[in-house]
Amino acid sequence: PDVIIEAQFDDNDAEHGRDHLQDMLTDDVKKLSLDTGEKGKAAGVTGVHRTKQDDGPKVNDPRLLPDEFLQRTAKVVYILEKKHSRAATGFIKLLADRNSELFKRCAMFSPVDHRVPRVYVPLADCPPDFVTKPEAYSQMLFICRIVDWKEDNNFASGQLCKSLGQAGEIEPESEGILTEYGVDFSDFSPEVLECLPQNLPWVISPGELAKRRDLR
């Protein structure tokens, strides 16, 4: 029952204006209407007749349509494994509705990675002067960790972990990426450092060079 018209829009269409494009679409609809009418006449000649009563339920019943015309849909029923670290890098800002009760309790965290949802974070986790001077933190990167995301809410709930520094600088950006992917970048423990050669400067022995391929 529904006809989808596809039209290509280019600079020439822009020059002629919107009326020109609308005329093109109108002509296409007329052509399709004529084609449909001719097919109907041909069907009448061969003796195939369809009543209005037959057309009603069949048109609206998706079970009668071929599979190639159907869009399959599904929903998530269970999470097998949580792969994401639940940590994200992003920016904080005040909520838009200043008269709401939520404005007094939470701020909005917007992740840099748009695949991660926006997060409500408590104002207690934000800097003390964030409410009075939010513009001072507009380019400040923060690390937020998602703690909950209810199925009936567009926004997750989280905790603001730490401030990384100004966006665009190498160290804050690098720390944010490592934290998001769960990479441990803390200092090596003394036990690990004891495994390294203690007599410095250290050189490779001739015996090792003889049995190894030098890839330096």
Q: How do residues 123-178 score in pLDDT, each as one tens digit? A: 999 999 999 999 999 999 999 999 999 888 899 999 999 899 899 899 999 999 99
**10 Å Cβ neighbour count for 164?**
19
Tell the residue number behind the tokens 């939520």, with chain if given. 102
| pLDDT > 70 in the chain, percent | 73
User: Which domains can be identified in the chain, with CATH numbers?
Assistant: 87-181 (2.40.50.700)
CB burial of 101-128 (b: ≥16 within 10 Å; e: otherwise) equals: eebeebbbbbbeeeebbbbbbebebbbe
- CA–CA distance, 16 with 102 (Å, rounded to integer): 50
The H-or-E segment that residue 43 falls in is: helix 18-45
- pTM beyond 0.85, yes or no: no
